[in-house]
């Protein structure tokens, strides 16, 4: 069977990553003003980092880079029609590679069940033992954006193979994003240097990410979420409901924690990468939620799928929304839960669009009524998002149904949940309202301290976070994808 790749050796919250990053940071600072030398050094660091996650996966990283490099180079010498053929071939190649690794197991099992012994070889084949290369979903989309932007003539000048490979394999983002665009990366590769303000900002981002992942996410996962989703019938309805809320906070703290660390690591190196989260649990609608959640993926789907399908101007906007969200769901994997999750978000977005068109000209003049309406919209959006996360988290649709059945059973039979889970969940939701302010306050506090004191404070904060969190290191959720 195809197993999901686990890359504990390069997990951002391990000592191993610190031992890798600190020499890279120091040497990089020394080479930063020498473009070619720094580019080759950064490429070597990127390749080493990716190899630590699984050296057998390197050929696929090289292949994706080669496909996009070759297509863009070929476009420079072709007419419009042949350019379209080249970009279409690039899209087809990426889709086939992703489809093979993500869906081979599901297709093989389906064929074996349908045709019996005649198709058993699909499961027993050596192909079934191939694992999903870590980060493939992210650097594939990044490579495609490079090629499509050049087809649209929105990109910069074409790059050498080494430069493109450096862009796709950039180690802070290669595992789980954010999905970068070439217009953001290449100008910084040549001109950006870490300034005096980058250290307090970068360190604060790293510390906030470590706290979110090492304390918040890990606590919720180990104290309740894993146990309830594994055996919901052993827990009371209150505990099952609490697990649903807790997972909503867990996945937010886990993924935004990864993003914060990636942004902080990159900023210490002089790169400012795009923000991937913008307080998503304060959204007043599903549409606003997707403007705030996994921004690099949602904007990628908008720019390279939804708008080319016709967007809101051509064809049926609701069909375009459904197609986009279903593809966004199955991008995560072959589980039917991802398909249902994406489809239900598509339905929800279609309903929101229809409601906005119906009520667009109607505004509440009374401030109190408008405020009450916002509270209702916020609560409804939060609960819909939390409910749909059940399909994302459960291993199968049957498991998702079991969790939801336990929630709606309204029974007190079974185990409860610890108070710390309730506190962590409430605090996780509160971060969507006060997290940005806390971050800015922390940066201001760090900025007034001398450099040696900043380093000491960072070291003490890391030690505190490590001791506060549970034992062991959990892999980041989105490294599965």
Residues tagged active-site: 332
Residues 6+ apart with CB under 8 A from 393: 225, 229, 247, 251, 337, 400
Strand partners, 235: 415
For residue 304, give the 3-state DSSP assignment.
helix
> Rounded to the nearest 5 degrees, what angle is found at the Cα of 231, between the Cα atoms of 395 and 325?
30
Q: CA nearest 277: which of 261, 293, 264?
A: 293
Alpha-carbon distances, residue 20 vs 47, 118, 263, 289 (angstroms): 12, 49, 17, 35
- 10 Å Cβ neighbour count for 176? 25
CB 420 within 8 A of CB 219: yes
Q: Where does residue 391 rank: exposed (0-12), middle (13-18), buried (19+ CB within 10 A)?
A: buried
- Tell me the C-alpha distance between 339 and 356, whole Å: 26
Q: Encoding tokens for residue 151?
A: 């087809």
User: Which residues, in sequence order, are bridge partners of residue 415?
Assistant: 235
Spatial neighbors of 425 by CB under 8 A, at least 6 apart, are: 220, 242, 245, 246, 249
Nearest in space to 326 (alpha carbons), one of 340, 341, 342: 342
Cα–Cα distance between 356 and 118 in angstroms, integer?
53
10 within 8 A of 46, measured Cβ to Cβ = no
CA distance 156 to 146: 9
Residues 287, 350: Cα–Cα separation, whole Å: 9
Rounded Cα–Cα distance for residues 353 and 286 (Å) = 10
CA distance 6 to 53: 8
Contact (Cβ atoms closer than 8 angstroms) between residue 381 and residue 287: no
Identify whether the C-beta of residue 235 lies closer than 8 Å to the C-beta of residue 227: yes
Angle (CA) 290 248 400, round 5°? 105
Alpha helix segments (H runs only) across 360-450: 367-393, 397-407, 419-447
Distance CA 82, CA 14 (A): 48
């Amino acid at each position: 069977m195809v197993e999901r790749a686990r890359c504990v050796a390069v997990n951002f919250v391990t000592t191993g990553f610190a031992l890798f990053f600190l020499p890279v940071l120091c040497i990089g600072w020394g080479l930063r003003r020498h473009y070619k030398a720094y580019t080759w050094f950064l490429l070597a660091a990127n390749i080493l980092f990716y190899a630590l996650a699984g050296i057998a996966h390197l050929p696929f990283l090289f292949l994706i880079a080669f496909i996009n490099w070759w297509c863009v180079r070929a476009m420079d010498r072709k007419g419009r029609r042949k350019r379209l053929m080249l970009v279409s071939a690039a899209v087809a190649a990426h889709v086939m590679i992703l489809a093979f690794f993500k869906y081979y197991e599901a297709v093989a099992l389906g064929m074996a069940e349908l045709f019996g012994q005649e198709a058993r070889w699909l499961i027993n084949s050596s192909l079934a033992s191939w694992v999903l290369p870590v980060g493939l979903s992210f650097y594939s989309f990044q490579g495609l954006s490079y090629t499509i932007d050049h087809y649209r003539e929105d990109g910069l000048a074409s790059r050498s193979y080494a430069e493109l490979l450096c862009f796709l394999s950039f180690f802070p983002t290669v595992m789980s994003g954010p999905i970068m665009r070439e217009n953001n990366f290449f100008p910084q590769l040549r001109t950006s240097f870490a300034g005096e303000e980058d250290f307090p900002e970068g360190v604060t981002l790293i510390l906030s990410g470590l706290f979110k992942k090492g304390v918040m996410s890990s606590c919720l996962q180990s104290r309740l979420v894993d146990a309830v989703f594994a055996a919901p019938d052993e827990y009371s309805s209150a505990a099952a409901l609490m697990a649903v809320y807790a997972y909503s906070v867990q996945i937010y703290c886990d993924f935004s924690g990864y993003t914060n660390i990636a942004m902080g690591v990159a900023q210490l190196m002089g790169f400012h990468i795009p923000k991937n989260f913008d307080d998503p649990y304060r959204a007043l609608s599903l549409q606003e939620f997707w403007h705030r959640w996994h921004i690099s993926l949602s904007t990628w789907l908008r720019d390279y799928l939804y708008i080319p399908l016709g967007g809101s101007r051509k064809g049926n906007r609701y069909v375009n929304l459904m197609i986009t969200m279903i593809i966004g769901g199955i991008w995560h994997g072959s589980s039917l839960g991802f398909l249902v999750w994406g489809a239900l978000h598509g339905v929800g977005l279609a309903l929101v669009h229809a409601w906005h068109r119906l009520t667009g000209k109607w505004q509440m003049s009374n401030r109190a009524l408008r405020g009450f309406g916002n509270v209702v919209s916020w609560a409804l959006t939060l609960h819909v998002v939390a409910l749909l996360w059940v399909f994302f988290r459960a291993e199968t649709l049957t498991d998702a149904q079991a969790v939801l059945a336990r929630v709606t059973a309204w029974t007190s039979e079974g185990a409860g949940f610890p108070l710390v889970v309730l506190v962590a969940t409430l605090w996780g939701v509160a971060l969507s309202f006060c997290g940005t302010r806390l971050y800015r306050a922390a940066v201001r506090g760090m900025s007034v301290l001398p450099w040696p004191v900043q380093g000491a404070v960072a070291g003490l904060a890391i030690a505190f976070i490590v001791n506060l969190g549970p034992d062991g290191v959990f892999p980041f959720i989105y490294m599965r994808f």
